[in-house]
């Protein structure tokens, strides 16, 4: 039998063993797709792709590169996942894209693999809600339970912690970090690190308040919210230097013992802020 006939037979065997793969999908030999996953019409899956149980992929997607997708994700049509980074220094190294579990990825998103200069991995955690036209560049790290509204654009090496909400058309400069429970308004442009709990708005974005309503919805106690208010006052209202604000924040658990994890989160974030970039003001 001709070598091409062997390849065709192996492809037919893979398709017959996974009824969830549409007959028009092009699935490369070597791809690992759980039998309970489904692949829509005309979708292309590369040889180094792994797709976990219960994940659904819509029509006309391209999933390539060393891409690992976990369980129970819902990936809508017309997505490009795992393409090489938009980085002129990239020279074909086997970098990765990792997507966790239970994420929703709407139409026309572009998630690139990592680059050697950034650790080689672009990573998205679990339970994220990512709307249409979102771009995640190389080496971006996204935590869990985030919401990215339409057209959010993240440059290389950006880090987004848990429970962050990005308003539509938010643009984040490379290497910027956004702390947990933060939020941006529509059309915000971030050039500086945004500490946990902060709500920002503008071009460039400035701190407007803390995300108190989001914290209430997530079950924060009155004392914990009071501590976050005190952090906001120290960082933004009293004209303190960043070092002086950190000292005041470190003392808050004496008044609000339940807020120790929140204070630790804030202090850890502030300790890693590069002086040349600073925080949103």
Residue 237 CB neighbour total at 10 angstroms? 10
Could you give the CA distance from residue 78 to residue 80 in angstroms, rounded to a whole number? 7
The single residue of 20, 58, 65, 156 carrying the catalytic annotation is 156
34 as an active site residue: the answer is no
139 as an active site residue: the answer is yes
The single residue of 48, 66, 138, 157 carrying the catalytic annotation is 138
DSSP character for 78? Answer: S
262 as an active site residue: the answer is no
DSSP character for 118? Answer: G
- C-beta of residue 140 within 8 angstroms of C-beta of residue 122: yes
Sign of CA dihedral 176, 146, 148, 127: positive
Strand partners, 78: none
Q: What are phi and psi of 264, to 5 degrees?
A: -60, -40
Could you give the CA distance from residue 214 to residue 167 in angstroms, rounded to a whole number? 14
Residue 9 CB neighbour total at 10 angstroms? 11
Query: At 98, is the secondary structure helix, strand, or coil?
Result: strand
Could you give the CA distance from residue 47 to residue 70 in angstroms, rounded to a whole number? 17
Q: What are phi and psi of 160, to 5 degrees?
A: -125, 120
The single residue of 126, 139, 193, 262 carrying the catalytic annotation is 139
Burial of 6 (0-12, 13-18, 19+ CB in 10 A): exposed
Would you please indicate which residues are annotated as catalytic (active-site) residues?
Answer: 138-139, 156
């Amino acid at each position: 039998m001709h070598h091409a006939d062997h390849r065709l037979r192996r492809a037919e065997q893979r398709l017959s063993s996974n009824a969830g793969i549409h007959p028009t999908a092009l699935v490369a030999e070597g791809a690992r797709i759980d039998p309970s996953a489904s692949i829509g019409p005309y979708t292309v899956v590369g040889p180094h792709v792994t797709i976990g149980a219960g994940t659904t992929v819509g029509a006309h997607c391209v999933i390539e590169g060393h891409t690992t997708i976990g369980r129970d994700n819902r990936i809508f049509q017309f997505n490009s996942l795992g393409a090489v980074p938009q980085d002129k220094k990239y020279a074909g190294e086997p970098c990765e894209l990792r997507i966790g579990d239970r994420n929703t990825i709407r139409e026309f998103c572009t998630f690139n693999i990592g680059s050697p200069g950034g650790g080689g991995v672009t990573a998205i955690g679990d339970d994220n809600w990512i709307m249409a036209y979102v771009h995640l560049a190389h080496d971006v790290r996204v935590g869990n339970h985030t919401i990215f509204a339409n057209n959010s654009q993240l440059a290389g090496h950006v880090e987004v912690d848990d429970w962050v909400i990005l308003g539509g058309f938010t643009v984040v400069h490379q290497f910027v970090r956004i702390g947990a429970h933060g939020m941006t308004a529509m059309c915000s442009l971030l050039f500086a690190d945004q500490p946990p709990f902060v709500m920002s708005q503008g071009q460039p974005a400035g701190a407007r308040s803390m995300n108190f309503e989001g914290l209430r919805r997530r079950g924060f106690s009155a004392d914990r919210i009071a501590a976050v208010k005190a952090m906001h006052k120290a960082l933004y209202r009293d004209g303190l230097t960043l070092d002086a604000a950190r000292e005041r924040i470190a003392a808050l658990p004496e008044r609000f013992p339940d807020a120790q994890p929140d204070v630790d989160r804030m202090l850890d974030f502030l300790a890693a802020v590069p002086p040349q970039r600073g925080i949103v003001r």
